[in-house]
Structure 1
């Protein structure tokens, strides 16, 4: 089978925490003959997957690594602290980093937040993954600050989370190789941006309907016969007075009584 004979397909990478279900559903409705394959990657592996053709596009965490990749920022996540349900912090709706000053705050090696100064007290050892850190929180060894989507991804019945108002936030973007902005990539960009199936972007203008063409042709013929421009569809010419001017234009304000 030659390259031109290979049926089109689309590979979409996504990092943990992103749920692409809605966009995949719309893709399958609009392009049922082009299968979309989901490729789960870690935040650190996402950009390599795009560069090595492991995926045509992907949902990644910003900042985007390198000028060779295009990106459209989509949304910013809320940052939360994951705690045991019986923790004191669970009694409030929101905390600050200062409120965690006396806590052991776990900092996994795959942390996706960019910290200038880590909050709380450092753990004796950094967990390898966020999943490992969650297990340590459940064991009562410390707390964990992560984007809310990761707290939901690793949900446990014995844990909960609360918003950290002044922690750094993680932003999600759609990214793809700049030199490989294919028609399918453009199609997916349109889906993510909420472009409808009838959008005029990249499509020829909708041709006039039969009644519109008939009315336009009749107006054009009349204009040639009379030498006057055809009236716009649905409009009426302004009434004129005996001197040829517009009645509305000639009508002035009523004179006051003396």
Structure 2
């Protein structure tokens, strides 16, 4: 099989916490002949996957790493603190970072939040991953501040989470290499932006169909007929009928001969 015989496909990367199900469903409805492959990638590795061609586009967490990548911001996540269900924080609906001042706040090495000043008290060492940090929260060693999607991803029955109103927020975006903005990438951008299947963006206008052309011609003919009738009426208005009071002049016949 030659390169030209290989059927097209689309590889979509996504970082933990992002759920691309809705967009994948729309893709499969609109492009059933182009398979879409999902590629799960760690947040710290997704930009490398885009540059090396392991994915055509990807859902990433901002900021985007480098000017060679394009990005469309999609939404901003709520930030929450993960705590044991019997923790004092579980008794309220939301907290501030100041409310966590006396807590040991775990800061995993794969943290996706951009902190200027970490809240609470630092742990003895940083957990390697968010998943490891969740296990430490369950063991009562500390609390964890993360985007809500990650709290849901690592949900445990013995844990809960509450909104942190003044914590940094994570923004999710669709990103792809600028020099590889292919037709399939454009298709997926359209899906993410909510363009309908009948959108004319990037497509030439549809030419009139035969019935449409015929209808347009008939309409033009009728319009011309009405114009012509108006001109004829104008000439008649100043003709003999008008000068004789509106009655047609009597027709004069030939004189009859005498008998």
TM-score, structure 1 normalization: 0.83
- Alignment partner of 2:11: what SS? strand
1:197-226: CA deviations, max 9, x gaps?
A: 0001122223335554223263488x9999
Unpaired segments ≥5 residues, structure 2: 224-233
Task: Name the count of aligned residue pairs.
Answer: 247
Which is worse superposed, 195-204 or 149-158? Answer: 195-204
- Tell me, in whole angstroms, the C-alpha distance in 2 between the residues paired with 1:256 and 1:85: 130
Structure 1 residue ranges (4+ consecutive) displaced by more than 2 angstroms after TM superposition: 206-215, 217-221, 223-237, 248-258
Are 1:68 and 1:178, in contact at CA under 8 Å, matched by a contact in 2? yes
- Tell me, in whole angstroms, the C-alpha distance in 1 between the residues paired with 2:257 and 2:88: 80
Are 1:51 and 1:177, in contact at CA under 8 Å, matched by a contact in 2? yes
Greater helix fraction, Structure 1 or Structure 2: 2
Displacement of 1:5 after TM fit?
1.5
- Alignment partner of 1:59: what SS? strand
**Change beyond 3 A, Cα 1:207–1:89:** same
Q: CA RMSD in A?
A: 13.0
- Alignment partner of 1:157: what SS? coil
- Alignment partner of 2:241: what SS? coil
Are 1:219 and 1:231, in contact at CA under 8 Å, matched by a contact in 2? no
User: Which residue is 1:127 aligned to?
Assistant: 127
Determine if the alignment matches structure 1 residue 249 to structure 2 residue 247. no
Highest Rg: 1 or 2? Answer: 2
- Tell me, in whole angstroms, the C-alpha distance in 1 between the residues paired with 2:73 and 2:158: 34
- Tell me, in whole angstroms, the C-alpha distance in 1 between the residues paired with 2:72 and 2:16: 18
**Change beyond 3 A, Cα 1:231–1:196:** farther
1:32-57: CA deviations, max 9, x gaps?
A: 11000000000000000000000000
**Change beyond 3 A, Cα 1:218–1:11:** same
Are 1:220 and 1:230, in contact at CA under 8 Å, matched by a contact in 2? no
Are 1:16 and 1:40, in contact at CA under 8 Å, matched by a contact in 2? yes
Are 2:96 and 2:165, in contact at CA under 8 Å, matched by a contact in 1? yes
- Tell me, in whole angstroms, the C-alpha distance in 1 between the residues paired with 2:47 and 2:258: 82
Displacement of 1:10 after TM fit?
0.3
Which is worse superposed, 6-15 or 212-221? Answer: 212-221
Displacement of 1:236 after TM fit?
32
Are 2:81 and 2:161, in contact at CA under 8 Å, matched by a contact in 1? yes
Unpaired segments ≥5 residues, structure 1: 238-247
1:137-194: CA deviations, max 9, x gaps?
A: 0010000000000000000010000000000000000000000000000000000001
**Change beyond 3 A, Cα 1:228–1:234:** closer
